[in-house]
Amino acid sequence: MFDNQTFQALVEANGLTGEVVASNSFIIEVKGLEGVRLGSQVLFEDGQRGMVREAYADKVILFNIDSEKMQPGTLAVVQNDVLSVPVGKELVGRVVSAMGEPLDGKGPVAAKEKSGIFNPAPGIMARSMLNEQLASGVSAVDMFFPVVLGQRIAILGDSKSGKSTFLSQLSASQEGTDRVVVYVLIGKRKVDIEMLLAGLRDSGAMEHTIVVLADIFDSLTQSYLAPYSACAMAENIWYGGRDTIIIYDDLSSHAEAYRQLSLLQEIDPGRDSYPGDIFYAHSSLLERAGKLLTTDKTLTALPVIITPNDDITAYLSTSIMSITDGQIIFDLGLFRKGIRPAVNAGLSVSRVGGQAQTGRQKRLSSTLFKKLAKYKQAEEFSHFGSSLSKEASIDLQTGKLIYAALQQPPEERHTLATQQLILETLLLGEGELEFDIPALKKEATERSAEAKEEADYDRIEKELLKKYSSPIKIVLKAGEKAPVTITGPEPGIKPPKTETEAEMDEAARKEKAAHAKS
């Protein structure tokens, strides 16, 4: 039950007051509150809260933060000039609502500070160049599309294509660092929320993570506010001197909630029925990420977008791609083929990833891209059932080894050094050797701490190649003949004659002998 002493105190302190005259779901019309600022936080006498959305000469339009139920005649008073949430390191390890209220049963949040949620992004002169890689622990991302601390990179894909699994792996990989992860869940089902929270707890990631939750049964207003509230929590830790990563899972649900609120306001819908300012809503949020010039600390933003039927050309996904510095696309088709993680190497890109890589890492990434391109070409030729050339066979074998090394279950994570050792060792085989991939991964993980200099990598990789590689064995089926490779004659050696050529030569020899006798 709400104790209205707070309400009475605000009224007695001459706060701006008004009266509810109409309500339409989450949209409330209040008469009074003259001179109120947009974005102000309003408290109603029944304990519910609202946010000022529009102000006119004779009325004010608010979003109801707590529920759809509001009785006409309810009194309202301005509680704060800005909508604010609790912030601070005390939130780390907790699960909270979009308004910072505890949802994990661990008691009240002991945060001592509060912050507005619609904060401006740092100016260009306050920013620094991005130059340090954020290791996700997933080889298919770190080696091909490296994420940089302070970057904004979109995570796109259809439902159930492995996006949340990858983000959980990335969160868990920050263990042992001083980084904090802020994970925002917007419009999710209870079962999905429980699975994610269980995964974060099991991996130990919850120890350095703040989870901000607005599930599908919460108010539309909280689903709309959740990413801004979470960003305010992340900014406080970032400005306090720690690298922070914020995951928006997902902005498709956020846009849907905002669309519904706008339609309830009777605002004319724009493209795909989204509000006309949906691009601003997301760009103003994502622009808050970056790297500070004063402290060199970073806020990395990873917005998630659902792409039904793997269509990345829709309005929302293309808008997010235009705001961010790259995108990692998860392909449902690849996922169904058993390729995990199902990263689409042809469409994904990290526009600033190369700035954080060493020369050796850049050479490895370039080589891997070329090898996989040749593998795709050789794979297409192999479907015709004809014999492949030696070069095509090597390309096919190399590609299969690379894909086998990139396969990672959710609980498997590798450091950047481990990933380099595994993949460079495979490339040393030049497609003519077989490898014991699980054993290679295990020892590369154990020995990655030894790799400090270029010479260390070369030495360890040669030892791993010798220990875990073997010649390719050709297994023949019953009645099948071994493949015969037909090559041209060596220089200076005449090829053997055919039967026809031999018969012609014999006839010519007999004719010459008969002519000599006569």
pLDDT in tens, 212-228: 999 877 789 999 999 99
Residue type for position 366: S
* Count, residues in the chain: 518
Distance CA 21, CA 74 (A): 8
Distance CA 55, CA 59 (A): 6
Phi, psi of 225 (to 5 degrees): -80, -25
Would you please indicate which residues are annotated as catalytic (active-site) residues? Answer: 351
Residue 331 has pLDDT above 90, yes or no: yes
Can you point out the beta strands (E) in 75-134? Answer: 75-80, 84-87, 95-97, 113-116, 133-134
Residue 515 has pLDDT above 70, yes or no: no
pLDDT band at 340 (very low <50, low <70, confident <90, very high): confident
Least confident of 147-161, 165-179, 500-514: 500-514
Helix (H/G/I), strand (E/B), else coil: 115:
strand
Q: What is the pLDDT of residues 293-324, one digit of tens each?
A: 999 999 999 999 999 988 999 999 999 999 99
Helix (H/G/I), strand (E/B), else coil: 379:
helix
pLDDT band at 491 (very low <50, low <70, confident <90, very high): very low
pLDDT at 127: 95
If you average pLDDT over residues 373-392, what whole number do you get?
A: 80
Q: Nearest Cα to 376, choosing from 399, 394, 403, 348?
A: 399
More confident residue, 199 or 488: 199
**What are the residue ranges of CATH 3.40.50.300 in the chain?**
85-357
Residue with tokens 């979003």: 63
Supply 383's token pair. 């479907």
pLDDT band at 482 (very low <50, low <70, confident <90, very high): very low
- At the top level of CATH, the class of 85-357 is alpha beta
pLDDT at 2: 58
Residues 6+ away with beta carbon under 8 Å from 81: 37, 40, 41
Supply 249's token pair. 């899972």
Q: How many helices (H) and strands (E) does the chain have?
A: 15, 21
Q: What is the pLDDT of residues 52-85, one digit of tens each?
A: 999 998 899 999 998 888 999 999 999 999 999 9
If you average pLDDT over residues 478-497, what whole number do you get?
A: 42
Whole-number average pLDDT of the chain: 88
**What are the residue ranges of CATH 2.40.30.20 in the chain?**
5-82
Residues 6+ away with beta carbon under 8 Å from 12: none
Residue type for position 208: H
pLDDT at 15: 86
pTM score over 0.75: yes
If you average pLDDT over residues 120-145, what whole number do you get?
A: 94
* 3-class SS letters over 48-75: CEEEEEEECCCCEEEEECCCCCCCCCCE
**What are the residue ranges of CATH 1.20.150.20 in the chain?**
360-471
Least confident of 66-70, 78-82, 254-258, 278-282: 66-70
pLDDT band at 272 (very low <50, low <70, confident <90, very high): confident
Fold topology of 360-471: Lysin (1.20.150)
If you average pLDDT over residues 419-425, what whole number do you get?
A: 95
Residue 481 has pLDDT above 50, yes or no: no
- Is residue 277 within 8 Å of 109, Cβ to Cβ? no
Residues 6+ away with beta carbon under 8 Å from 375: 395, 396, 398, 399, 400, 402, 403
Supply 2's token pair. 């709400």
Between the two ends of the chain, the Cα-to-Cα distance in Å is 133
Domain 5-82 listed as CATH 2.40.30.10: no
Q: What share of the chain is helix, strand, coil (3-state, %, to 5)?
A: 40, 20, 40
Name 343's bridge partners: 330
Least confident of 22-26, 61-65, 117-121, 500-504: 500-504
